[in-house]
Amino acid sequence: MTVYRSANSTKERANYLYFNDDCNANKNDCLGSQNQEDNYNLLSNNDATIAQGDGEYSFLEQESAELIWVKESCNITVTSNDTQASVSLQAALQLAIAIVISITIADSDRSDHVSQELLQYTNTEQINRQKIYIYNTKDATVTTTDTDIAVNIQLLLQVLLTLVLLLDIL
Amino acid sequence: MDDSSKQQPATEKVIKVMVDNIFRKNGVQPEELKKNISDEQRQMLKEMVQDLRQQVDQFNKAQKKVTDSEE
């Protein structure tokens, strides 16, 4: 059994799930979807909060992919946390920062510039790829975690809190 | 301040400097900005931030649980 799951914040979220016993065929499938994703990253950016004409976009590029193979085994427990929830939390925080800035700075040119700069500093590009292969095993438990995203969420929250403290909102 | 910011005093300062610098560079005065928010907006933003903060806390707790059970 093979499970392939992928989450990406810069495009429409899509789940790729493959169940296939033929390992070679599956590898090709996965490569195909990976390439597609890369194209999406460059060409379309649905989650961008601010777009500027000079070609600078503030968005978060992040990709998490997990590939878990379980072969000729029994009683295997696989726990992997859902990255979708954390990706949307991240997007919500970015949006909140942009909202606070656009409300408080009346001049829209200036507000665009400030929020773009703020988000640019916290803009991280990270790619997480995990591959787990379980073969000829009995009674095993596997847990996977994505720690990168947690750090980023903390950072964005700090920026938001600093802003609202500065503006006496809280 | 909440617990998470107490754990990371360094990050907090770095971000303060960053925000201050960006405001300065763009000629933005925090005092002037305060006037632009109506009480209603202030309330709305306050609720939004508190809600997000709660969500982040929950997320951190869930993450911690996973890490603890791994050890």
pLDDT tens digit string along A58-105? 455 566 677 888 888 888 888 776 666 777 888 888 889 888 888 888
pLDDT at A23 over 60: no
Q: Cβ(B57)–Cβ(B65) under 8 Å?
A: no
Interface contact flag, A79 B66, Cβ < 8 Å? yes
Interface contact flag, A143 B49, Cβ < 8 Å? no
pLDDT at B27: 85
**Alpha-helical segments (H) within B26-70:** 30-35, 39-70
Give the C-alpha distances (Å, rounded to integers) separating A120 from A89, A130, A153, B52: 18, 27, 14, 20
User: With an 8 Å Cβ cutoff, is B66 touching chain A?
Assistant: yes
pLDDT band at residue A19 under the 50/70/90 scheme: very low
Q: Nearest CA of chain A to the CA of B32: how many Å? A: 9
Among B16, B18, B45, beta carbon nearest to A121: B18
Neighbours of A125 (CB within 10 A): 9
pTM score, two decimals?
0.59
pLDDT at A84: 66
Neighbours of A159 (CB within 10 A): 23
Relative orientation angle of helices B39-70 and A148-166, to the nearest 10 degrees: 150
